[in-house]
Amino acid sequence: MCNPEVAFMGHLTTQEQATQTPSQTPSQTIVKRIDIAAPVPRVWRALTDHLQFSQWFLVNLEGPFVLGEKVGGQLTHPGYEHVRMEVVVQAIQPTTYFAYTWHPYAVDPKVDYSDETPTLVEFHLEATPTGTLVVVTESGFENLPPSRYADALRMNTRGWEQQLKNIETYVLKTA
């Protein structure tokens, strides 16, 4: 069942607030959540198997997610096929936590984003009575150049809303 909720810093549960650093403010972090009617292992595979991730995220990843390594591929989302996505895996804690860094909303082929500090994307999975709670957090927008900050934050806020719907649809269709 789709139940995405928007939560920014300052509007989080006490437990979520406890995991945030004092330097983060509401406008610097995106937090989205969805409860997917599927068991944690199924959602975990869709999230961390690069072939399944490619299907719902709309990207052709060229290899698996490996701790400490970079993996990339071309987006297949209509209108963004010119964009190459690259992530560096920061953590894989089977069936509960997956994290990577990337350059958010890096869509202009004329711009070299490699000197920018990437943002951190974290996925937390937790069993619920109805399936699996997925919480995605993206932080570090405050480190982006001022010229990119607002667009990256706005577009990724919308993007994570869509991606959570995408993973839910994918998991329920392929369960």
State the average pLDDT for the chain. 87
Residue 10: pLDDT above 90? no
How many of the other CB atoms lie within 10 Å of CB of 147?
8
Confidence label for 28 from pLDDT (cuts 50, 70 and 90): confident
User: Which phi and psi angles does 46 have, rounded to 5°?
Assistant: -65, -30
**Minimum mean pLDDT among 25-29, 79-83, 169-173: which range?**
25-29
Residues shown for the chain:
175
What pairs with residue 120 in β-bridges?
Answer: 101, 139
pLDDT of residue 22: 37
In 3D, which of 52, 6, 47 has the Cα closest to residue 29?
A: 6
**Minimum mean pLDDT among 9-13, 131-135, 144-148, 171-175: which range?**
9-13
